Structure 1
């Protein structure tokens, strides 16, 4: 069996992955808060953990892997969006979840086995909070329930911070009902105009962190294999998850391996609305950038490194995928995924290395292995290739071949040069050799610019 190695945030080193139960491999990834479109930074962990999901299914079997990714559908940001828009909260969350699933599907991601919504697990959250109170890890104050951070001696181990350093370097909420500034909210009261549920502490709603602990417990058990998300969630969200889960169930490991992807930049700068470089996935799709191209750009950088989205990278990815789709058109993938592809992905999700291997297979003309390896990465899938199917340039190849044949006789190559210039202007790569003429759509391909040539 292939050995998987993953960089475990908890231990700060790359480790051999050994599941708790090889017949029941379990992974939890923090999903979105559903009040608006997912931006491209939100999409990076989806693609990263989709590749890991594919690898686990390949090695352990589809029926032996469970992947859970949640939706946070109760949150102050959602409340604010409802207040400013005049729309119902349920209407906003339903619409946003549908947007999210459509956009992530466009990126070629497989849906997880379970996609729980926080509002479906309020009783489980209340039960966990009650247990934390009974064991004196939490306390009630002014309608709030708070977790006693200093009572958990390992607090800060995941993010590598001490509690005192956190207080000195972070903005923490100081409130009269808190015993300690670092204590975080498990439950808070709701006004009449806010979503709320009955509880032993009055009508209210859960804090952000408790939802993932309760849902992972319910769906994966008190100990499971992998917990993932962006590194912006490491503190406080994941740190707080570890604390409350391990205190509620001290005999458990909670998550054995923690994976965090680095953040995304745009053209070398932090993505920001004020800089005008803020894009949602839907923005890019509506601009005509195929989801498969977005996925390729994401996978070209290791998940543990900052990723820079650039128009140049997108253009290069589009050109590469067009070539690979043309070369594999009509062929079936090899029955066995190339070992170089599997080995690269199994080495801490080295997707950049896997893409390098795909280039090698393409250059060697191993189309069946190229297709099998690409499919392992979620690329060249037939149901995501419609964008490349409208680029049949065979008629233009015949036109250029005929012009070249006449030029060879007349020694006048002006028409050939004119056609080549028109093709390049339309974003077509022109390849001419003794064996013939080949036209390949490249970055910025625009078929409308070729209409006048026929």
Structure 2
């Protein structure tokens, strides 16, 4: 079995994948906080995890992927280990309530915005719908592999917090809150490059002074907050309240992957500190193991026209925004995954035209070889796949894998292969890329077919105004329209 190598953010070097259990890979990905629609910056990280999973499965590994759904405890200022501001779910509830009262258009259809569970389920379902359109395999997994934080407070988070207290890694402060004692874990800061002295010096103004005075060290971070006024709350040995954001992933990873140490943990680079740094401290502190994840992989930021993309800045697109612009989700998928995950990507609407052209070329090759969803993929050790495999095995070099794919579908290369064998090779490539098969056949839209027929009938009757009207409607629906002596055809534009 091919052993790929990846850049480990923990050790800052390329390392060969050596699964804990031979042939099986356990992988945890930080998922969405379901207080709003996920934007494409979020989806770059989620797509990175999907391509990683698909690549490993293509190479022959049995992958168990878990992606959490955060629906409590994630505060608006997540740059701090403690967090600050408002709980994002409470903020979402207030935002929807205000919008509903003012009858603002385009507001999420939540019956009772005061119910945070309704808000969370609405945006969770929206995320799954979007993920499915982008062909993320996690979208079709059982709910267990998309665990909700609120489902694991009592049975996973509270017991882990108690274990940390018992292991002298956490303490109950004078205000009743439970904090992780960072000085008890010498490796704290290894992932992010922070030191405790540096964190102590930079603590001023990071959290409320009232909270700081209850800590043993300024960098100690929250595990449990007693607060009976909080919108979402649970009973615990430390009072009614809610968990800190970081404990959620440590507890859910252990509960769902059933291990104290996993093979791979991924996320965006903004997760490195504080979130992933705190996860390591919690998980290792609870288990006593040296490692929580053997490989830490992080995708860099998605920029928009050269600027960082984020909800707080308001310069973001959701998948739905782009689909409304008649951009095919496969084009968006390719655009978000085609650059190397360890380099910032710069998203520009004009750049989608290049990705649309690439998808069209791949689909033309697929049609030429009669590739179907039922085509059996060629094995990873097929000689025709070697450049494609080598690129993926080298730190998930998707750009190199795409170059290999386009070299293969060049006319001279494609025509030199038996069509059935070429289809099998393309099926193998598309098991990773997932862009070659359209969501529906080109002629599957009945309205488009009817409008094409209407154009031909109107032209035959010399009613050119009616023909032009039908053509205009097709074009407004996002179709490229062509009329020849054989009649009118319409092909859905990709972008």
- TM-score w.r.t. the length of structure 1 is 0.82
1:104 to 117, 127, 131: 131
2:430 to 375, 381, 388: 375
Residue 359 of structure 1: aligned partner: 406
Residue 76 of structure 2: aligned partner: none
Shift, 1:185, TM fit: 0.2
Q: Does 1:178 align with 2:212?
A: no
CA distance in 2, matches of 1:109, 1:381: 15
Structure 1 residues 388, 55: CA separation in 2 closer, same or farther (over 3 Å shift)? farther
Q: Which moved more, 1:265-274 or 1:351-360?
A: 265-274
Q: Which moved more, 1:220-229 or 1:275-284?
A: 275-284
Q: Kindly provide the CA deviation profile for residues 288-328 of structure 1, in whole angstroms up to 9, marking residues without a partner as x.
A: 11111011112220000001111232111112212221232
Structure 1 residues 304, 388: CA separation in 2 closer, same or farther (over 3 Å shift)? farther
Q: Kindly provide the CA deviation profile for residues 216-256 of structure 1, in whole angstroms up to 9, marking residues without a partner as x.
A: 11122101100110010000000000011111111352111
CA distance in 2, matches of 1:209, 1:276: 25
Shift, 1:189, TM fit: 1.4
Residue 147 of structure 2: aligned partner: 116
Q: Which moved more, 1:201-210 or 1:333-342?
A: 333-342
- Contact 2:116–2:231, Cα closer than 8 Å, also in 1: no
Shift, 1:446, TM fit: 5.4
- Contact 2:3–2:17, Cα closer than 8 Å, also in 1: yes
- Contact 2:300–2:343, Cα closer than 8 Å, also in 1: yes
Structure 1 residues 451, 272: CA separation in 2 closer, same or farther (over 3 Å shift)? farther
Residue 94 of structure 2: aligned partner: 83
- Contact 1:358–1:373, Cα closer than 8 Å, also in 2: no
Shift, 1:283, TM fit: 0.9
- Contact 1:361–1:370, Cα closer than 8 Å, also in 2: no
Residue 431 of structure 1: aligned partner: none
Q: Does 1:335 align with 2:378?
A: yes
1:132 to 164, 174, 177: 164
Residue 493 of structure 2: aligned partner: none
1:296 to 334, 338, 359: 334
Residue 95 of structure 1: aligned partner: 122
Q: Which moved more, 1:269-278 or 1:238-247?
A: 269-278
Q: Does 1:284 align with 2:311?
A: no
CA distance in 1, matches of 2:344, 2:391: 19
Shift, 1:192, TM fit: 3.5
- Contact 2:280–2:291, Cα closer than 8 Å, also in 1: no
Task: Give the secondary structure class of the aligned counterpart of 2:433.
Answer: coil
Shift, 1:380, TM fit: 3.3
1:164 to 189, 197, 200: 197
Structure 2 unmatched ranges of 5 or more: 74-86, 98-112, 415-421, 457-471, 489-495
CA distance in 2, matches of 1:59, 1:321: 23
- Contact 1:22–1:60, Cα closer than 8 Å, also in 2: no
Task: Give the secondary structure class of the aligned counterpart of 1:375.
Answer: helix
CA distance in 1, matches of 2:436, 2:365: 14
Q: Does 1:325 align with 2:358?
A: no
Q: Does 1:205 align with 2:232?
A: no
Structure 1 residues 446, 193: CA separation in 2 closer, same or farther (over 3 Å shift)? closer
CA distance in 2, matches of 1:138, 1:326: 59
Residue 15 of structure 1: aligned partner: 15
Residue 435 of structure 1: aligned partner: none
CA distance in 1, matches of 2:130, 2:248: 24
Residue 346 of structure 1: aligned partner: 393
- Contact 2:301–2:309, Cα closer than 8 Å, also in 1: no
- TM-score w.r.t. the length of structure 2 is 0.76
CA distance in 2, matches of 1:129, 1:165: 26
Please tell me the root mean square deviation across aligned C-alpha atoms, in Å: 2.9
Structure 1 residues 36, 276: CA separation in 2 closer, same or farther (over 3 Å shift)? closer
Q: Which moved more, 1:145-154 or 1:111-120?
A: 111-120
Structure 1 residues 373, 215: CA separation in 2 closer, same or farther (over 3 Å shift)? same
Give the length in aligned residue pairs: 407
Q: Which moved more, 1:203-212 or 1:173-182?
A: 173-182
Residue 313 of structure 1: aligned partner: 351
CA distance in 1, matches of 2:312, 2:248: 32
Q: Kindly provide the CA deviation profile for residues 139-165 of structure 1, in whole angstroms up to 9, marking residues without a partner as x.
A: 112121001111111110011111222
Q: Kindly provide the CA deviation profile for residues 242-272 of structure 1, in whole angstroms up to 9, marking residues without a partner as x.
A: 0111111113521110000000011222225
Q: Which moved more, 1:341-350 or 1:223-232?
A: 341-350
- Contact 2:200–2:217, Cα closer than 8 Å, also in 1: no
Q: Kindly provide the CA deviation profile for residues 173-211 of structure 1, in whole angstroms up to 9, marking residues without a partner as x.
A: 242322221110000012345211111111011000001
